[in-house]
Amino acid sequence: MRRNRRVKILATLGPSSSDPETIEKLHRAGADVFRINMSHTDHALLNTLVERIRTVEANVGRPIGILADLQGPKLRVGTFADGPVMLEKGARFILDSDPAPGDVTRVHLPHREILQALKPGHRLLLDDGKIRLLVREASETRADCVVDVGGKLSNKKGVSVPDTEIPVGALTTKDRKDLDAALAANVDWIALSFIQRPDDLADVRKVTRGRAGVMAKIEKPQAIERLPEILELSDALMVARGDLGVEMPLERVPGLQKQITRAARRAGKPVVVATQMLESMINAPVPTRAEVSDVATAVYEGADAVMLSAESAAGDYPVDAVETMDRIAHEVERDPNYRMIIHAQRPEPEPTGADAISAAARQIAETLSLAAVVCYTSSGATGLRASRERPSVPVIALSPVVGTARRLSIAWGLHCVVSDDAKSEDDMVDRACRISFSESFAKPGQRIIITAGVPFGTPGSTNMLRIAFVGSDGRGGI
C-alpha cells in the first residue's frame, strides 16, 4: 500500500474515530499519522488506541506514526455563584486569588503565577479571545482590570496572556504523567503545548532521551520571538493556528504560518499546519471553498503535513474529512505551479556530507528522470535531509529500525519501509532495487539512485551515491 502524494495527513482520534474499524478506514483513506490528544485521553484509553493503531499497522503492512499531544498549562478562570455574567465594555473587573465563587465584579484566577507576572497595560483574553481585559493595577494576589471588549463569561473559561511571559515551564504535573505514559506506550512523537522558551523543550528532551521525537507547538507570541532557538531544540514544529490566532492578531497568522513553515524547511525539520482546516466538516459532508483553499495553501507552501482536529475526532464525517484532505493534496500536487513554487523555496544545502549527497541525489534523479531516490537511514537523519530537498521523484526511506520508519512517516514525500540494513554494496543495490520494484515505484529497466553510508549500519555516515538498474526479476544491477 503506497500513497501517491507527498504531503502527509495527521488525523486526531476521538469519540467519532476510536474504534478499530474506523481507525483502519481513516488510514486507508489517507491518514499517515494519528494524533492522540492527552487533554481528553486517560492512560488506559491511550494504551488501547496505541494497540489498535499497531494492529492496523500490521494489517496494512506500513509504518504508522503516533503523536501524543500534551495538554500544557491550560489557564482557566474559576466559577460564578449565580451562573454566567455579562461583562460590559468599560466596566471594572477583578481577577484574584480568592477561591470564592465570582460575580459580575470579580472571579477567581487559580493561577498565582499569572497574577505575579501581570503588569499594567497587559491584556487578558478570555473564552478564546471573545472577551478582552486590560490590566490597570496588579499585585501578587489580584489584577484590577477594565473590560475592553465585553461579553458573557461563564465557569472555567480559558485565559490567554499574550503580553505576559509566565515564569513556569510548559510541563504541568499532568503533562509529566502523560509524557511517561506516552513513552511507555512507545508513541513516536510528543507534541508540547504553549511553549514560551527553549528551556521548555530542554525539560522534555531530558525525559524522552531520544525515545520519541519532540514537536514544538507554536501558539504564543513568546515562541515566535524565540523561534530560531526553539527550532534548534525541537525535532519538528506545529503551526497551532487556533491559540496563535487568539494570542496574536488574526491577520498576522497567515504570514506567521509561512514564516514558520519556511524556517522549518530550511532546518530540514518537519512542520505541521493545524487547526480548523476543514472545520465545517465537523457537521457537514463537504467543506467550504475557503477551507479547501486553506488546505491547498499549506500544501503549496511545502508543509510536511496537514492536520485534522475535531473534524476526525468528534465530527460526523471523520473518514470523509480525511478523503477530502487527500483529494485536495492530490490535486495541488498535480498542478504545474506546485513544482515551480516548491523549487523556488528550496534552501541551499547545509555544509555537511549528508546534505551534499542528498542534494546531489535529488539533482541527479531529476536530471536523469530516475524512478526513485532510495535512502538507507538508521537514525532518520538522512531521510529528513532527502525530504528537505523536496525532489520531484519518489523517495523511499529504508530503515532497520521500526521506530525510525514510524517517526519518518510525518515527513514530506517519504515512503517508509522497514528493512534489514545492507551487508555489502551488492546487497545494498539488490535490496534497494527489489523494494523499489515490489513497492511499485520502479519497473524493470528503470534506474534508481541510492544513498547510504559506509561502513554499513553506522548512523550518520551517509557518504555514498549509486545509480542502479532494476532488472527483469526486480533485482539490481549497476
How far is Cα 394 from Cα 389, in angstroms, rounded to an integer? 12
Yes or no: say if 268 and 388 are a contact pair by the CB < 8 Å rule: yes
Residue 460, Cβ density class (10 Å: 0-12 exposed, 13-18 middle, ≥19 buried): middle
H or E element that contains 133:
strand 131-138
H or E element that contains 360:
helix 353-367
Residue 169, Cβ density class (10 Å: 0-12 exposed, 13-18 middle, ≥19 buried): buried
Neighbouring CB atoms inside 10 A of 207's CB total 15
How far is Cα 259 from Cα 261, in angstroms, rounded to an integer? 6
Yes or no: say if 52 and 22 are a contact pair by the CB < 8 Å rule: no
Q: Which set of grid coordinates corresponds to residue 460?
A: 550518520
H or E element that contains 181:
helix 173-184
For 99, the 3-state DSSP assignment is coil
How far is Cα 352 from Cα 179, in angstroms, rounded to an integer? 33
| Angle of helix 198-208 versus helix 173-184 axis, rounded to 10 | 40
For 474, the 3-state DSSP assignment is coil
How far is Cα 323 from Cα 326, in angstroms, rounded to an integer? 5
Q: Which residues are catalytic?
A: 35, 76, 217, 275
